[in-house]
Amino acid sequence: MSRRSLRGKVAVVGIGETTYYRHGKSPDPEFVLALKAILAACEDAGIEPHEIDGFASYSNDRNDPSRIAAALGLPALRFSNMQWGGGGGGGSGAVANASAAVACGIADCVVVFRALAQGQFQRFGAAAPGGTAAGEPAYNAPYGVMSPAQRYAMRAMRFLHENRIGPGAQRAIALASYHHAQNNPRAVMHGRPLDEETYDSSRWIVEPWRLFDCCQENDGAAALVIVPAERARNFKNKPAYLVGATLGSEHRNAARVHNAPLYATSSFTTVAPQLYEMAGVKPKDIDVVQSYENFTGGVLMSLVEHGFFKAEEANDFLKLENLLAPSGKLPLNTSGGNLAECYMHGLELQLEAVRQLRGASTAQVRDAKLSMVISGPMVTPVSSMILGTEETVQ
């Protein structure tokens, strides 16, 4: 493994988001959402938008950086990057790509963003009617395996089976997100608490996942600003330094028709060890984790693969009290995450990781110094990252 590293080379100095809406409810077109989030991140950093010289995003975001650069009248565009494949698995990957560009001098001030208006465009969770299916979909869609939940449920089902994990483990993950969202006025599910009985009696979407195991679909946009570490102190808010960021997936993860050799994984078995190697820290050093919930079973596997507990310990570890800020063993999804804050395709998790280091979360972990984000379990490529306070990269 390479000793070359992004550790301590760059920092996140600005974060911004739009109002988060239920899907189809944004009064603004998607491009306007993107612009508003980017301007909010500039405001938070205390910079003029003209200082931006690059953009990175993921999952084929429809808002082309060249159009944004023209719309904002940027003097020059120096970096325009799309993380290939993997949907929400690209969230931390986009941060890694932007960070690499800044660290290596391709650009000086790169914005990572994601914007979604699922009313203006098609929803993720609905299949298009009729027609033909070729390639991978030909082996899935005619059998009624179409949506992301249907596509990934069998990975989780196998993992739950192999490790004898009961339904309480997934439930605790859902309850933690909803619990934290009740403190967060940005959260779409703010004011809508979830209890065990409501979870247990909710309808199946696809076994082993009930309604509350599945992410929302939302409209909105989020953005963050990345600059070189040597400039990081010159901004309005406390910087969040990049301690590590990695992306990818294990051997033949994308083998077609569900033939990945290690099928029952969240795809992090090689990515997570590389992250810790780059960061020079261990799982026990991490103070707070934001872990992308497409589905709770994916979070469960992500936490195992990032070394927070062993698969056979999942039933004991995944209890609600262990997952709550301020003082649980592993405070998880402290803004409400994809389940209960907003499905901003996971980028809201990066913003929350920064807030934890600033001491500005609505579910603050005391004296948080190392803040992790895990992006997009079960897809490929996936990605994850660790941010830290200045002392963690000295």
Residues marked active site are found at 292, 343
Q: Return the SS3 of 320.
A: helix
Using CB under 8 A, which of 155, 306, 345, 355 touches another protein?
155
Check residue 146 for interaction with another protein (CB under 8 A): yes
What span, in angstroms and rounded, lies between the C-alpha atoms of 41 and 225? 7
Check residue 310 for interaction with another protein (CB under 8 A): no
* Complex with another protein: residue 105 or 130, whichever CB lies closer: 130
Which residue's entry shows tokens 């004011």? 191
User: Per-residue x/- marks for another protein, 93-132, CB under 8 A?
Assistant: --------------------------------xxx-xxxx
Using CB under 8 A, which of 24, 27, 46, 142 touches another protein?
142
* Complex with another protein: residue 78 or 151, whichever CB lies closer: 151
Q: Using omega within 30 degrees of 0 as the cis cutoff, is the peptide bond preceding 193 cis?
A: no
Which residue's entry shows tokens 């619990």? 179
Which residue's entry shows tokens 């009740």? 182
Q: Return the SS3 of 226.
A: strand
Shortest distance (Å) from residue 377 CB to another protein: 16
Shortest distance (Å) from residue 89 CB to another protein: 20
Q: At what angle are helices 148-162 and 296-305 packed, to 10 degrees?
A: 50
Shortest distance (Å) from residue 258 CB to another protein: 5
The DSSP-derived string for 241-289 is EEEEEEEE-STTTT-TTT--SS-SS-S-TTHHHHHHHHHT--GGG--EE
User: Per-residue x/- marks for another protein, 240-259, CB under 8 A?
Assistant: ------------x--xxxxx
Check residue 208 for interaction with another protein (CB under 8 A): yes
* Under 8 Å between Cβ of 224 and 231: no
Check residue 154 for interaction with another protein (CB under 8 A): yes
Binding residues for another protein, rule: CB under 8 A, are 125-127, 129-147, 149-150, 153-155, 157-158, 161, 203-208, 252, 255-259, 263-264
